[in-house]
Amino acid sequence: MANYLQEGGDQFYSALQQKAQAAVSSIFNSPLRTIQYPSQGDFMWNWSNANQVFNQSTFDYISAVLSKGDFTNSAKMSSSGGFANAYSQLLNVIVYSLSSANQQKLIQAQNNASTQAMTIISDYQTTYGPITDAMMQTAGVATKQDYVISYIMGSVWSGKGTSQPLTYTQMANARNLAALMPNMPASGNQVLTDVTVYLNLMQPVNALSDMLQNGAWILRQLKTNTQYPSSSNGGMQTVNPVTGVVSPQLNVGYGINYSQAAISNDLQNKNRTINLGMTTSSASGSSLNVHVDGQAGFSVGSLLKFSVAGGATYDMSQVSGTSTDCSVSMTWAGYSMIPMAPLAWQQATSVGWYYGDPITQAMANGQQDVDGFKFISASPYNLGKLDNGGNFGQFTNLLIANYPTITITYRNANFSSFQQAWSEHVSGNLTLFGFISLGSFSQGAYGSSYQQGADNSTFSVTFSASPQVTSVPQLQQTAYVVAGAVNTPSGY
Amino acid sequence: MKSLALLLLTCMSPLLCFSPGGRVQHAKAGQSAIVAYHETFGQVLTEAVNRALAAELGGRMWLIDGNSGQMMWYYENLNGLFNQQTFNYISRRVNGSSGDLAQLTEAGGFPNAYSMVLQLLCYNISSADRARISAAEASSQGLADSTVLLYESAFGTITTAQMAAAFAQYGLGASNKLDYVIDVMMGIFWSDRSTGGAQPLTYTQMATAPNLDSLLPLMPPAGKPVTSMARKFMQSNMSIAGIVDSAQNAAWTLRQLKNNTQYPNGMNGGMQLVNPYDGSSGGYQVGYNVANQLGDLTRQLQDTSRKMLIKITTYSTGGGTVNIIIGRGAGSVDTINYNLPDSEYVDIDDTATPQAAGPWDITLTALFSRYAVVSTGPTPWSDATNTGWYFSYPINEAIKNDTFDVTGYKFLLPSPYNMNSYEAGGTFGYLQQLLLCTDRPQVMVTMGGGAASGPPAFTSFPLMVPQMQATAYVVGGVFVFPQGGR
């Protein structure tokens, strides 16, 4: 990228970022980033239709994975669904396992429990006599341990008989084991205590096993819900905002915790504005010196280009009658901060797909020999903050606004000449510095009007949202994305 | 408070480019600027909010960043189903380690983490208690032998034929001589239950009886030494019953907590959620409570006279003042004024920059209008009914027990969450209270001695938002962390 473009982009995005941050500073303090214009186009803010089916275009925008942008404090988006794709890949390199030390601990705990099982048998036999093969056969058990616990305690001492004996699980789950043994003889107390100690020793064995199962289960659920979204696990259908066709396949769920009515209210509140100013003057050749919001100037080939539907493009510093001596004001009137998130996975229902804790824990554990979630191979994504090269960002909020009103006030110009050359009846799209899109719409996002100044040498041209862009069907209504908050596993 | 001192020092430069976070507009004396206020006034503002709401808070309130969005506060529909989006907010986990504004995780972060922590807990019997159990068992064996010996000394040797006959008639006493003495002789004959179809006294009934002899009306005089020894045998067994019962009860408790957390249903305190957008409801989630009556909450969040205006001024000459005006609705207005100490808040006397009292004063004005304090929390587990899911005791005890060889709850593996308090960087907190306000909070910093203009008026819009989707800004929260840290 040419230096002047880099500088222009840096200055514009940097200034816009500061304005955006200031606009929401009383309600939002995490850093905002400006968003480089994505292939998804503008943001369709009516995020669901009347049947509460999610807008496909909204989904396309918010489901991107984000990485550091090309300009200061900016971020750039992947194509639609990039975040879920990246998350799915990440899940594949995470496992839940015990450290070597705790695997040994598990084995030791099992050994301790086995030793205690021998004590149960020994105490039983010294009190009640040897357990013979015939006795075990009659009781229908294979081991002496099962004879004592399953048969003697489960059938005899419990009084349940052999038809509906207390199961081992019932005894292990009992709040008070003695209370379940009404027929226990007086001499059975020692065996009962032995069994209780055995069950206590089995606790860490079972808990460690449960932990392994639970960790593996969580990962399986996350993978299933991410890779095979369904209506029962939080997947959602989307609706094409142009055709109204609802997709037959389900995608991963996303949620916007802000009603469309509230967004509409915000956008109609034109008292809330974000303003950015620029001034230009002639530089060498056909270049312009531009100062963005009071910053040091830089040189650029064009300030603002207006591209109309027919294909013609007008450089607003070279249109007949204009001049290079002008000031530009950009005003976004009416903005809304919209929170959004992937559908969070919930352990109670196993609905949802995004759960950050395994990733956070795997990051802390790396590939070390420790307990918990860890990476079996290096993460395919940089999970750091965007400024540190992170490329696993997700949107948490978008600051959207109505299309900016851009007023260029020319000095040392020729209004009559401009008036003859310019038509107010065409609409088009605007590009700042030749490469920063200020919104795009097939029929032109902007219309224009002009007004003469004090004399023929001064006049202003104002670009504002075209009637075409404001009259589209509700589900296709778009807004300008001023900035976004991008979270990563390492924070904002 | 050092950051504020640094801020003020930096403010001495003519450009007033005081940007600790790099997010401050350039401003000139007397102008207003919007700053990353939490980085400068955060602690002072937090203190002011706590003083203003002291009577309503159950602990210290901390400011919450807005990156979790607003909260849908209309928490239940007409059928009593809980609003899914309200749940999604209040079930977040609080991370205390992320700086001066509290950060919350994604929805459901707390029950997810709690479920994982439960997996790490177990109830441990210490080496000493295991030794006590072994000793008690050995002692019991001796007492059992003595009981049989005393019986046989008084009543003759117990024969195999007697035991078989007893078993044939009563189904008891065939195993060994001790069972014959206690279960048959004491439990059937001496208790006068050998006839009339009466149920024998069980071992447990005898062991737990306050007066064993009173249960044995037919005991012959020679039986007294036998029952005394049998009583000692029972007491020896009972001496370790506490340990044994506690272990069983604790294991049971953990199982119930896991079950109720991982498999909530209508019987164990789980609750169904309703989607505020389409009215659909799905499976059961863990229960959460909101203590505020919905009617009260609605009135408070719509009452334009409920306002909290906080004005904090720090002076270049030292110290500062805080002025709080709280409108609680229905004409009730309280005012709280206090001074900030010189030493903490202003430290610019040594600067070489010429100072004139006034020009470099800095004022923060914050207005929270149509506010309410919402009390919430996970449904506590009840031992008696086995409903609910959150029970802090095992976790707190496991933290206290650490790796010590003691009887009680312990962590099998180190917790993946920091179990410290919020201030100490804990990452296992839940939301107990939230300060909400309907209107967008207005926070403004004015500097350079200019009069602090009031926050801009709120532009009111017709309420078109469906009731269940009504949102409010979340300003701050009271959190609960393990070990009672808040």
Cα–Cα distance for residue pair B216/B24, rounded to 1 Å = 88
Residue window 337-396, chain A: list those with CB within 8 Å of chain B: 337, 339, 341-342, 344-349, 351-352, 354-357, 361, 364, 371-373, 396
Q: Between residues B367 and B34, which one has the greater pLDDT?
A: B367
How many alpha carbons lie under 13 Å from residue A63 in its C-beta half-sphere? 26
Backbone phi, psi, residue A113, to 5°? -65, -40
CB atoms near residue B349 (< 10 Å): 10
Give the strand pairing for A54-55 and A238-239.
parallel
Cα–Cα distance for residue pair B411/B394, rounded to 1 Å = 10
Average pLDDT of every residue of chain B: 83
pLDDT tens readout for residues B106-151:
999 999 999 999 999 999 999 999 898 888 888 888 999 999 999 9
| Cβ distance of A28 and B66 shorter than 8 Å | yes
pLDDT at A97 over 60: yes
Distance of CA A50 to the CA centre of its chain: 25
pLDDT at B456 over 70: no
Closest chain A residue to the Cα of B67, Cα to Cα: A28
Of A185, A200, A352, the CB nearest to B125: A200
Average pLDDT over every residue of B462-468: 77
pLDDT score of B32 = 38
3-state secondary structure of B123: strand
Matching residue, tokens 């013979």: A132
B70 touches chain A (CB under 8 A): yes
pLDDT tens readout for residues A2-56:
666 788 888 899 899 999 998 888 888 889 999 999 999 999 999 999 999 999 9
Lowest-confidence pick of A178-187, A277-286, B215-224, B326-335: A277-286
| Cβ distance of B459 and A102 shorter than 8 Å | no
Chain A nearest C-alpha distance from B284 (Å): 7
Average pLDDT over every residue of A84-104: 94
3-state secondary structure of B394: helix
Q: Interface pTM (ipTM) of the complex?
A: 0.84
pLDDT at B40 over 70: no
Q: How many CB pairs under 8 A join A and B?
A: 247
Q: Where is A185: in which H helix or E strand?
A: none
Contact A368, A441 (CB under 8 A): no
pLDDT score of B25 = 32
CB atoms near residue A484 (< 10 Å): 28
pLDDT confidence band for A208 (50 / 70 / 90): confident
| Cβ distance of A348 and B173 shorter than 8 Å | no
Matching residue, tokens 């000449």: A417
pLDDT tens readout for residues B251-293:
999 999 999 999 999 999 999 999 999 999 988 999 999 999 9
Contact A415, A452 (CB under 8 A): yes
Count of residues making up chain A: 492
Name which of B285, B415, B465, B468 to mutate to probe chain A: the one with the most chain A Cβ atoms within 10 A of its Cβ.
B465
pLDDT confidence band for A425 (50 / 70 / 90): confident
Closest chain B residue to the Cα of A342, Cα to Cα: B106
pLDDT tens readout for residues A76-90:
999 999 999 999 999
pLDDT at B321 over 50: yes
Contact B431, B477 (CB under 8 A): yes
**Residue ranges per structural domain of chain B:** 2-124+273-455+469-484, 127-241
Average pLDDT over every residue of A453-457: 94
Residue window 321-340, chain A: list those with CB within 8 Å of chain B: 337, 339
pLDDT at A422 over 60: yes
Chain A nearest C-alpha distance from B350 (Å): 32
3-state secondary structure of A386: helix
> Which DSSP string corresponds to B320-347?
EEEEEEEEEETTEEEEEEEEEPHHHH--
Q: How much of chain B exceeds pLDDT 70, in percent?
A: 83
Cα–Cα distance for residue pair B172/B189, rounded to 1 Å = 12
